[in-house]
Structure 1
């Protein structure tokens, strides 16, 4: 079977606007939370989010083009461009018929839809922007990336809530393994910090309301966690067939060993309380990878900081790893970045690859009080990054609707 490796990375996150800055943010345990600046949040129960900091789209994309794009597509193009450059991909040196793009977004162009509806609701003569639909639809991240570089392989979007990028990764790796493509640009982007985004998740009681201490509001595994913090941004990675990567002298950052997807088939938003779908997903990913449980060093969890979700995921990990769970480092980087919804799987896969590259485990910050339901012997990497020789890392992403995905990365050793 053809082997799949990672040859490029790109990150645009609330704790760093490029790959190097994101790595620094993970190592330092930075919080990306801030009071919302995109609109006046005073009338909302949650008044904070993890926004991008000092990001100017016109530094990367022509101003006229920016006006024709929703923020999620802008983020997609910026992260993908960094990954393409990081991989030193030259479209003129590639068979573009065998290069594809699979790009994820759980929500797509929410801001564009919100703006059009708000404007036209108060107008006697509705006038819809002719770019509204192309700005809004979730496949446009893939569309714009493929058009920019002329990549004419498969190009589409995946939508499975917060598991969206996990599924994009699996589909892209399968295309390469099956010989359909040689190179795939993969990732996810999200820009849902809008009035509708905050209002909708708040109405579900999914968001933290810690307005007086928003910097520490994302508290996975803490006894006082009260919901997730909405984030935005994008992550991208270049997947490549091993021999193709070697032939062009590419740097290989990790190998994609395996992937799996399952469904809880339980509830539209709540996880299965015993983590049954999640445990099957991890077990299947490891089995496909040929990785034994005692080979895994680090798990980047879905870990959203919700009362039910964090416990269910740890139960699932315990079912798969048994007593080996005590040998693992486990952490939730959402404690730093917030929850990027459909893009979460992208930046969290990148966190795993950076851990492998730099021999450290990013922390779960904002831990103050032990949860009596959580075994204290589990190393949840609280508050500070830890040095560790990370050879194998596993990442989980779970989405509303019961969607689960898990992927396994390994240090490339030839």
Structure 2
């Protein structure tokens, strides 16, 4: 991979654990679950969620700008700004034609759709906002980011359900390897905690029903897990070719050493029971990185806390890898859906930097059927390579192999 290594030079986060990378990482390391009762879900079968705390888009983006953006785009712009600052890049001085944007989301802006549908039903079509489509269309996530930072290179949004953020990062890496651009803003964002969407998830039976104790509801790999808690937020990474990053004196926080993707072709919502698709993606990421299974010291698991997902993923990790230390940050943040993979990739970079694996919150009774070692406390470990796994409805899988510089 010499000469084609892809460097991570900037990180940005907006998550239920906190606004900003430092705050989010501190919350995950402390194992503080963000789940709480959500007034916006009153009347729904499940009334708990993981919201971004103290979110004030007017203060962060300016009132005029914020009011023209759906929440999922607001999250991404704030995370992207932090990532660019972290990377030491100034959009006022770069060649925008060589800067790409590749972001992932599962749904776009359902909050805007539901709000404007109420206007249509309660008032009239003439009262529907002319910004309905520009605010809710999924592609506007990348389009607005490009406009915000003057990035005129390749620009796209990918949608692979809950694997979207990871798929976006893998696609961004490919663009750099193909020399389509020199810098890519990549990651994912999601804001799907709306009454209609959450009613749909509840009807599918995917949400935790532990509503008497919201903080304990998301329980990855626990014997008593019963579903995920929905979260929201964004993760953005700045990627460059390592040689370019070194030439400009940038700090390389980690390398995207490999990427694998696959489809289960099995079921619309359930993973393959043996994890066949995820195994294919994991093995592809290992081969792409030129490493052995025994080289992987840590896995940031998809770990949704649903009975089928955690079992299938644990089986694959046990079958494919030697004995990595596993964690799932969803016990703290909940499931950020299309943004999950990007946020978890950032956490994996931080784990590599600090040689520290965060705890899996709420794991009190490990499921004996999930025969992997899962961290229950912040654990110091020595490793140079880690995997970040993502799985999505429709059987879409994506895996990143991340490495120390």
* TM tier relative to shorter chain: over 0.9
1:339 and 2:338 matched: no
Query: In the TM superposition, what whole-angstrom CA distance separates every residue of 1:104-129 from its partner, at most 9, and x where no partner exists?
Result: 11111010001111221122555221
Give 1:44's aligned residue.
44
Give the Cα–Cα distance (whole angstroms) in 1 for the partners of residues 60 and 24 of structure 2.
Answer: 18
**What aligned pairs does 1:109-120 form with structure 2 within 5 A after superposition?**
109-120=109-120
Structure 1 SS opposite 2:370: coil
Give the Cα–Cα distance (whole angstroms) in 2 for the partners of residues 75 and 26 of structure 1.
Answer: 19
Q: Which residue, out of 16, 23, 26, partners 1:24?
A: 26
The two structures have a TM-score, normalised by structure 1, of 0.95
Q: Which residue, out of 393, 397, 401, partners 2:394?
A: 401
**What aligned pairs does 1:8-87 form with structure 2 within 5 A after superposition?**
8-37=10-39, 39=40, 41-87=41-87
Give 1:292's aligned residue.
292
Give 1:361's aligned residue.
357
Give the Cα–Cα distance (whole angstroms) in 1 for the partners of residues 240 and 351 of structure 2.
Answer: 20
Give 2:380's aligned residue.
387
Structure 1 SS opposite 2:18: coil
**What aligned pairs does 1:158-237 form with structure 2 within 5 A after superposition?**
158-237=158-237
* 8 Å contact kept, 1:2–1:178: no
> Offset of 1:335 from its aligned partner?
0.9
Give the Cα–Cα distance (whole angstroms) in 2 for the partners of residues 36 and 94 of structure 1.
Answer: 42
> Offset of 1:20 from its aligned partner?
0.7
* 8 Å contact kept, 2:271–2:309: yes
Give 1:5's aligned residue.
7
* 8 Å contact kept, 1:360–1:390: no
Give 2:368's aligned residue.
372
* 8 Å contact kept, 1:104–1:139: no
> Offset of 1:196 from its aligned partner?
1.2
Q: How many residues in Structure 1 have an aligned counterpart in Structure 2?
A: 403
The 1:294/1:125 distance shift into structure 2, 3 A limit, reads closer
CA RMSD of the aligned region, Å? 1.1
Give 1:150's aligned residue.
150
Query: In the TM superposition, what whole-angstrom CA distance separates every residue of 1:66-96 from its partner, at most 9, and x where no partner exists?
Result: 1111000100100001001110101243222
The two structures have a TM-score, normalised by structure 2, of 0.97
> Offset of 1:22 from its aligned partner?
1.1
Structure 2 SS opposite 1:297: strand
Query: In the TM superposition, what whole-angstrom CA distance separates every residue of 1:262-310 from its partner, at most 9, and x where no partner exists?
Result: 0000000000000000001100100010011111110011110001110
The 1:348/1:90 distance shift into structure 2, 3 A limit, reads same
> Offset of 1:248 from its aligned partner?
1.2
Give the Cα–Cα distance (whole angstroms) in 1 for the partners of residues 287 and 380 of structure 2.
Answer: 27
> Offset of 1:399 from its aligned partner?
0.5
> Offset of 1:369 from its aligned partner?
2.1
Give the Cα–Cα distance (whole angstroms) in 2 for the partners of residues 381 and 3 of structure 1.
Answer: 30
| Stretch of structure 1 that moved more, 90-99 or 237-246 | 90-99
| Stretch of structure 1 that moved more, 385-394 or 263-272 | 385-394
Structure 1 SS opposite 2:19: coil
Give the Cα–Cα distance (whole angstroms) in 1 for the partners of residues 196 and 125 of structure 2.
Answer: 23
Query: In the TM superposition, what whole-angstrom CA distance separates every residue of 1:175-229 from its partner, at most 9, and x where no partner exists?
Result: 1111111110001111111111211111111100111111010001111111000
> Offset of 1:353 from its aligned partner?
0.2
Structure 2 SS opposite 1:161: coil
* 8 Å contact kept, 2:228–2:334: yes
The 1:192/1:125 distance shift into structure 2, 3 A limit, reads closer
* 8 Å contact kept, 2:315–2:370: no
Give 1:410's aligned residue.
403
* 8 Å contact kept, 1:219–1:367: yes
Which blocks of at least 5 consecutive residues in structure 1 are unaligned?
none
Structure 1 SS opposite 2:184: strand
Give 2:283's aligned residue.
283
Give the Cα–Cα distance (whole angstroms) in 1 for the partners of residues 74 and 92 of structure 2.
Answer: 24
Query: In the TM superposition, what whole-angstrom CA distance separates every residue of 1:237-280 from its partner, at most 9, and x where no partner exists?
Result: 00001121112111100011010110000000000000000001
Give the Cα–Cα distance (whole angstroms) in 2 for the partners of residues 90 and 351 of structure 1.
Answer: 24
* 8 Å contact kept, 1:355–1:390: no
